[in-house]
Amino acid sequence: MIRKLFRWIAGNDNRQAVPAQVGGIFERMSPEGLCGITPTMARDEIRSHLAALYKRHNNAAGSLDPELRREAETMLDAIVHCREKYVEVSL
């Protein structure tokens, strides 16, 4: 342990950086939670928020990075769900 500390202080720590991953309950979050929609938001506010999210994640859906593409597809599904539920209310 002391060796690791000395290597870290000296800047000679050769371990590979492990990227942080979201897991646990956050992977099973509701579409509203993923999109950041709160109960106090007005319909027009939800519409503009979802439009901005759609623009961002639609661009990422065409990425060559499979992890980024998977995340974008998950978000696009959540955006569609929220749009159908809160914006396109049928009469």
In a domain, 54, yes or no: yes
Query: Between vectors from CA 74 to CA 70 and to CA 79, what angle results, nearest 5°?
Result: 145
Average of per-residue pLDDT across 43-58: 93
DSSP letters, 1-49, are: -HHHHHHHHHT---PPPPPP---GGGTT--HHHHHT--TT--HHHHHHH
In a domain, 57, yes or no: yes
In a domain, 9, yes or no: no
Is residue 48 a contact partner of residue 86, using CB atoms and an 8 Å limit? no
In a domain, 29, yes or no: yes
In a domain, 17, yes or no: no
- Residue 18: pLDDT band (50, 70, 90) is very low
Q: Is the pLDDT of residue 89 over 80?
A: no
Whole-model pTM above 0.85? Answer: no
Burial class (CB within 10 angstroms; exposed 0-12, middle 13-18, buried 19+) of 32 = middle
Domain that holds residue 63: 23-87
Burial class (CB within 10 angstroms; exposed 0-12, middle 13-18, buried 19+) of 88 = exposed
Number of domains comprising the chain:
1
In a domain, 62, yes or no: yes
In a domain, 59, yes or no: yes
